[in-house]
Amino acid sequence: MWLYLVALVGLWTLLRLIRERQVVSHLQDKHVFITGCDSGFGNLLARQLDRRGMRVLAACLTEKGAEELRNKTSDRLETVILDVTKTESIVAATQWVKERVGNRGLWGLVNNAGIAIPSGPNEWLNKEDFAKILDVNLLGVIEVTLSMLPLVRKARGRVVNVSSILGRVCFTGGGYGISKYGVEAFSDSLRRELSYFGVKVAIIEPGFFRTAVSSSDTHLCSAKILWDRASSEVKEAYGEKFLASHLTSLKSLDRKCKEDLSLVTDCMEHALTSCHPRTRYSAGWEAKLFFIPMSYLPTCLADAILYGASVKPDKAL
């Protein structure tokens, strides 16, 4: 009995491997639009796809980021300045893309642009802090996607949305986790709707990686600013000891961040180039072996694990 079961699992794994290795033809004729290419995942993916011969349309927030990317890539790659929080910037970028893809349409849209601060205990934040992150990470993703969809549908192409393990299990306050839960929900509904048109939607769920977004210096500075502006009541409830422990945990988290961003960009590339892309890609062993399995645990067990590892306020029960 066990032999048959092992053989069945082995056969299924082999067939899946063969299926996932099938690559889309004529990649050199396909255009891919990527947001957030100044640094991090977007920058590396743009260079990676350019080396593969694809026609990369890279959106950067700054002219400096765009120039540095152009200096590292071939003449095929083109850049455009894009602020995903501004409708007029998205409209202009969409028109720019339309002029370049023509009747072929846009094969790939990668929503990668994102920010992570301000973040901290929810009670330290205000509505504007949440809105700042949601405007980029969620509403920006939605508006860029809706604007580019006619071009993607024409090519029967791909939409790749960058989420996070925090879109599965959220253990920090602020708008980042909320935005990633939103990206997951938006991607799920989009995938089902666009399947009628032959368009595939994939979600990338990275673990801990060292990028400009996850910089410990930035997070430490943000935490100190939030603490300084907090009310005396909040400071008394949490206490200086909690602040010190919180800052220490941020430094500890930074040490766990991996330098090899290709673990994430390889997932993105597979989602864009495979004939049979996955619905979700988990990048990093902590995502695969800890956070993703935890997302399927009963809530009481997941809470107990995270509660045991968390920093407690001075006036906690």
User: What distance in Å separates the CA atoms of residue 272 and residue 50, rounded to the nearest whole number?
Assistant: 13
What's the pLDDT score for residue 144? Answer: 98
Question: Do the beta carbons of residue 198 and residue 156 sit within 8 Å?
Answer: yes
Tens of pLDDT along 176-211? 999 999 999 999 999 999 999 999 999 999 998 888
Q: Helix, strand, or coil here: 60?
A: strand
What's the pLDDT score for residue 17? Answer: 75
Count of CB atoms within 10 A of residue 149's CB?
A: 19
Question: Do the beta carbons of residue 210 and residue 259 sit within 8 Å?
Answer: yes
Whether residue 307 lies in the annotated active site:
no
What's the pLDDT score for residue 309? Answer: 61
What's the pLDDT score for residue 302? Answer: 87
What's the pLDDT score for residue 99? Answer: 96
> Which residue ranges in the chain fall short of pLDDT 50?
none
Q: Measure CA of the first residue to CA of the last residue in the chain; give whole Å.
A: 52
- One of 176, 238, 281, 307 is an active-site residue; which one? 176
What is the overall mean pLDDT for the chain?
Answer: 90
Handedness of CA 137, 139, 142, 143 (dihedral sign): negative
What's the pLDDT score for residue 315? Answer: 59
CATH of the structural domain 26-309, one choice from 3.40.190.10, 3.20.20.140, 3.40.50.720, 3.40.1670.10: 3.40.50.720
User: What distance in Å separates the CA atoms of residue 311 and residue 243, rounded to the nearest whole number?
Assistant: 9
User: What distance in Å separates the CA atoms of residue 137 and residue 36, rounded to the nearest whole number?
Assistant: 11
DSSP 34-55: ES--SSHHHHHHHHHHHHTT-E
Q: Where are the domains of the chain?
A: 26-309
